[in-house]
Amino acid sequence: MFSERKILLVVNPISGDVDKDVIFERIIEKTQSEGYDLRIYPTTGEKDLETIREMVEHIHPERILVAGGDGTISLVAQAVYGIDVIMGIIPAGSANGLSVDFGLSGSVDQAMEVAFGNNTVLIDAVSINGDISLHLSDVGLNALLVKNYENSETRGKLGYAREMLKTLSEHENFQVRITAGDQVIETDALIVIIANAQKYGTGVTINPAGDMSDGMFELVIAKKLDFIETAKILAGNTDFNPEIMQVISVEKADIECIDKEVHFQIDGEYKGTVKHVEAHILKGYIKVAVP
């Protein structure tokens, strides 16, 4: 059957611990029953961005579905930047931070309903040192945790807890100068988070004020580990002790690590150490189907 209504499914065959067969079955059933012409692109890890962009320009799909983790979602968002297409997310990664922020529970049925539904939002992205972040990126403690976890043999919650303890014992605070408009903050820091969204994939809310569509991103600056301020942020409170925690909403920021190179991660992917980070908002980057 020839159909003008096309769907492109991009699937990462190696992501997470998820049986992709169930996802394939559901999508094939759904697209057949609704008369869509379904095309499937399994990522290879090589030149995926260019290939997806070419396919989208050639096929003109109504929707592009992504079955993968945050890395694949971000890849697809970059590939279709500037093209009018709706992205539907079927969470199939190991952490799924973005899906958690979009209110997707992890069930294939719920994700399918949302991905084919009529509710959409245009979300912003943050350009960071030329890379794209849709979710949460940071310099400092958490980036070192991402590095340690990527390098460790163990997986799951126990492995995560073990790497957290190791990270806390290895981490050193750093001196940072943050320039955002006419604001300059110079401080000792444990971590500086560049947050487009609210929650890490673990479900922990780190940026209660976060809104992916408001044309701003937040810098969450934690100056030391403090139980009360951590509890406040987890409870959704935004009234912090500025000696310990500071959150500012900005469109653009320069982060200079003054005394040393600091670990850096973008959306869960370790990027090495940096001394300088430049971040600016890219408003209305991609249209996403949401609950």
Ligand X SMILES: Nc1ncnc2c1ncn2[C@@H]1O[C@H](COP(=O)(O)OP(=O)(O)OP(=O)(O)O)[C@@H](O)[C@H]1O
Residues that bind ligand X (CB under 6 A): 12-16, 43-45, 68-72, 93-96, 268
Nearer to ligand X, 155 or 260 (CB): 155
Nearer to ligand X, 48 or 218 (CB): 48
Q: How far is the CB of 203 from ligand X (least distance, A)?
A: 13
Q: How far is the CB of 228 from ligand X (least distance, A)?
A: 31
Dist CA 217 CA 7 (whole Å): 31
- Sign of the alpha-carbon torsion through 97, 99, 104, 109: negative
Q: How far is the CB of 137 from ligand X (least distance, A)?
A: 13
Strand-pairing partners, residue 188, are 175
Contact status, residue 244 vs residue 188, Cβ threshold 8 Å: no
Nearer to ligand X, 229 or 267 (CB): 267
Nearer to ligand X, 43 or 196 (CB): 43
Q: How far is the CB of 102 from ligand X (least distance, A)?
A: 13
Phi, psi of 207 (to 5 degrees): -140, 80
DSSP characters for 134-200?
SSEEEEEHHHHHHHHHHH-S--HHHHHHHHHHHHHHH---EEEEEEETTEEEEEEESEEEEESSSB-
Q: How far is the CB of 60 from ligand X (least distance, A)?
A: 24
Q: Is 246 helix (H, G, I), strand (E, B) or coil?
A: strand
Output the residue with the shortest Cβ distance to ligand X: 69
Nearer to ligand X, 17 or 239 (CB): 17
